[in-house]
Structure 1
Amino acid sequence: MKKCKICNNFTVKTADSKTQKEYHKCSACCYIFLDEIFYVDETREKSHYDKHHNSFDSLGYVKMFEDLIEEFVTPHKADIKTALDFGCGRGEVLPILLERNSVLCDRYDLFYFPQKVYDGKTYDIILSTEVFEHLQNPLEVLKELLLHVREGGYLLLMSAFHPNNDDEFFKWWYIRDVTHIGFFNMATFKHLADALNLKIIKHNNKNIILFQK
């Protein structure tokens, strides 16, 4: 049995009968992660991202971020003047929309903006959208990001909340992306909030959660 990457409890192994991929599920915090033998290499991962059309030409993609800002950022705009988009992708849609809303936004992305511009800085908010499901060590990354959120600042994560049911999980579209290797739900995020002394400010019970440090 493998230890959970979030809470360090032992997990139970389960397998997708269609793909034969094996996953490890934690009954304590509900985190689920793909077994490492099924990870794609970095070259294939980058090639997969290169196919994404996440730009201002994609009106649905832009609308998603406009709605995110309106619902999760604008209510706290008096407190938010600086931001980091961690894992922004090459399209820079969210940073540009934030800057149009008078929030100065730095960019970081492992493949497209690899310079760690956040070193030595703190921000009013760090946003990481559709990133944490790709991470091999999500807890380590989360702890590192929190070092760069000012006291009283915010952390926003977007990652689809998994259905906590094996039958539904294996039918779930989100696991079909070969670069998606870790899956959260509200129980996972509540555990993280307790463990890292964060306050959950708001969530949509679907794919977005806002914490306050």
Structure 2
Amino acid sequence: MNSLTCPLCVHDFESTDVFFQDKKRCYHQCPQCSLVFVTPEERLTPDQELEEYKLHENHVDDAGYRKFLNRALSPLVPMVDSFTNALDFGCGPGPLLAIMLREYGIETSIYDPFFFPSRDVLNTSYSLITCTEAIEHFHHPHKEWELWQSLIASDGVILIMTKRVLDRERFKHWHYKNDPTHVCFFSEATFRYLGQKYHYDVQFPTNDVVLMKKL
């Protein structure tokens, strides 16, 4: 039996049942917020992470990448006029979503701890925060989530794109968990927990996008 602390809701619990284990890592599930996560000793070091990220081929002029990000952008289109500014958090080396948001006239800042690490952009309030295919990489999602709460406007929107945990059986065969940089896995229950605790209306427009509107 392991004593664990959830990296998202910071709930301390005794793990009596491993959610899943393979030859590489052991996955645990928080009984409070339902986050599935790997423990710190099984995460990559920052240098190892960076080497993995350099292998990604997400370029700003890649039509396929633009089509992929449109899945995240589409739910925002009906409300673009309500956004005065935006922060694309965890944008990676090719901040295409920021470019796409600017094409809609939204002043957009970018932040990434590896590729655009200037924290000057974290001193402003934003009506929109986007995080596409990044939240699953966070080692300490509680810290990022609390940071977002300090940045989001009182009527703001957070848009997150990440594949969601469905159940234990399908997790076994889920390719998403095999990326060594993926260390936290969210489900609808996890986002509903965050919505209830932090007062957001939570919507799931597609199977990998969640829209959280501040109440």
Q: Structure 1 length normalisation: TM-score?
A: 0.91
Greater CA drift, 53-62 or 75-84: 53-62
- Equivalents in 1 of 2:50, 2:209: separation in Å? 24
- Equivalents in 2 of 1:15, 1:46: separation in Å? 28
1:108 aligns with 2:111: yes
Deviations 1:62-110 (A, max 9, x none): 112223222x211111211210000111111100111111111101111
SS at match of 2:122: coil
Runs of 4+ aligned residues of structure 1 deviating over 6 Å after TM superposition are: none
1:176 aligns with 2:170: no
Alignment length (residue pairs): 210
- Equivalents in 2 of 1:193, 1:123: separation in Å? 18
Q: Superposition RMSD on alpha carbons, in Å?
A: 1.7
Q: Which 5+ residue runs of structure 1 have no aligned equivalent?
A: none
% identity of equivalent residues: 27
1:122 aligns with 2:125: yes
Cα distance, 1:160–1:172 mapped onto 2, change above 3 Å? same
Q: Which residue of 2 aligns with 1:90?
A: 93
Q: Which 5+ residue runs of structure 2 have no aligned equivalent?
A: none
Q: Which residue of 1 aligns with 2:50?
A: 46
> What is the identity, as a one-letter code, of the residue corresponding to 2:154?
E
- Equivalents in 2 of 1:162, 1:90: separation in Å? 26
Greater CA drift, 184-193 or 5-14: 5-14
- Equivalent runs, 1:11-22 vs 2, <5 Å: 12=15, 13-14=17-18, 16=20, 18-22=22-26
Cα distance, 1:192–1:59 mapped onto 2, change above 3 Å? same
- Equivalents in 1 of 2:4, 2:83: separation in Å? 40
SS at match of 2:147: helix
SS at match of 1:95: helix
1:59 aligns with 2:63: yes
Give the Å deviation of 1:157: 1.1
Q: Structure 2 length normalisation: TM-score?
A: 0.91
